[in-house]
Amino acid sequence: MSDAPHGPGPRSIARSVGLGAVAFSATLILLFGFVSLVGRSAGGAAATPRSTGAEPTPSQAITTSSPASSPSGDPVLVGAGDIADCDLDSGAATAALLDTIDGTVFTAGDNAYPNGSASQFRDCYAPTWGRHLERTHPAPGNHDCFGSAAGPDAASWYSYELGAWHVIVLDSDCTFVGCLADTPQGQWLATDLKASKATCTLAVWHHPRFSSGEHGNDASVWPFWDALYRAGADVVVNGHDHDYERFGPQDPAGREDKARGVREFVVGTGGAVLRDFPTVAAHSEVRIASAFGVIKFVLHPTSYEWSFVRTSGEVGDSGNGACH
């Protein structure tokens, strides 16, 4: 696969949304009591509710108080990308895993299929992962994201604190929102990283910089990696390719860097149809193309543990790492 930036995919060309988005957002507010974030999807309005009561301003962090499920009492972050498809029951299966794991839930984009419409969020996402809305921090994908709410004033990028960790959520649909260092998102990221006092940092977005999956490497998110690497970040989690893959620590150019490199996980196993690996990217350590599941992180003050939990309950991959 080439390193060429991705195109807009199934998302509509216009970033604005109509009255249907407003109606659906209002419905979600009534049903779940949360501020909804309307989508810029091909099928109409979508919503990706966030567990906070208001949009964070740039460099403003959110404090999360979700229960921990680790024996140490340290916080847990659990989730996946590429989730709810009404034609499959796999999204319900991964949601059942979440039922058994306390902690904060993340999504890595493409939360509802096939195109993130309001009806697909209502009929596919809400009955499954939607029951964990109160503890979910979503990231936008190319089938869904924050639409007219995106931008400097109500951005589809934000950060929050989880125990001793700083967690950053970014919007990797670079054609629409801009990912370069001089864009609003790039400037926000630089400011946010500079302001953070955390020893450990984890970032979540949709399109992976490195991947052995169908889409391959995505050069458009290089600026994210560059900023995170320079700031000493530790972990990146993505979706987009419908598989599970773990990489060794790398620099933004894909060179092995065991001392300062960022470890990337691709976890597009939330429920959308799985796909095989057409190639093997450099520094790919583990690849699983045959199992739906979620990744669970236990976030210790200066280190972390990970486990990829299949819907069968078996652990397909696990390990630990130290923060920089």
Domains identified in the chain and CATH numbers? 19-322 (3.60.21.10)
| Per-residue pLDDT tens digits of the chain, which is 324 residues long | 444 433 333 343 223 222 223 223 333 332 333 223 333 333 322 333 333 223 333 333 333 334 455 777 899 999 999 999 999 999 999 999 999 999 999 999 999 888 888 888 889 999 999 999 889 999 988 766 544 444 446 678 999 999 999 999 999 999 988 999 999 999 999 999 999 999 999 999 999 999 999 999 999 999 999 999 999 999 999 999 999 999 999 999 999 999 999 999 999 999 999 999 999 999 999 999 999 999 999 999 999 999 999 999 999 999 999 999
| Residue 142 φ then ψ, to 5° | -85, -5
Parallel/antiparallel/unpaired status of strands 293-299 and 76-80: antiparallel
Q: Does the global pTM surpass 0.85?
A: no
Taking the C-alpha atoms of residue 39 and residue 200, their distance in angstroms, rounded to an integer, is: 31
Q: How wide is the angle at C-alpha 279 spanned by C-alphas 278 and 284, nearest 5°? A: 130
Among positive and negative, which fits the CA dihedral 222, 225, 228, 230?
A: negative
Give the pLDDT confidence score for residue 63 in this predicted structure: 35
- pLDDT of 145 reads 53
Structure-token pair, residue 86: 């009404």
Measured from the Cβ of residue 117, the count of other Cβ atoms closer than 10 Å reads 23
| Residue 197: alpha-carbon gap to chain centroid | 22
Burial per residue of 268-301, b for 16 or more beta-carbon CB atoms within 10 angstroms, e otherwise: bbbbbebeebeeebebbeebbbebbbbbbbbbbe
Helix axes 222-230, 184-195, angle to 10 degrees: 20
pLDDT of res. 20: 29
Q: Residues 35, 74, 111, 214: what is their CA dihedral angle, to the nearest 10 degrees?
A: 150
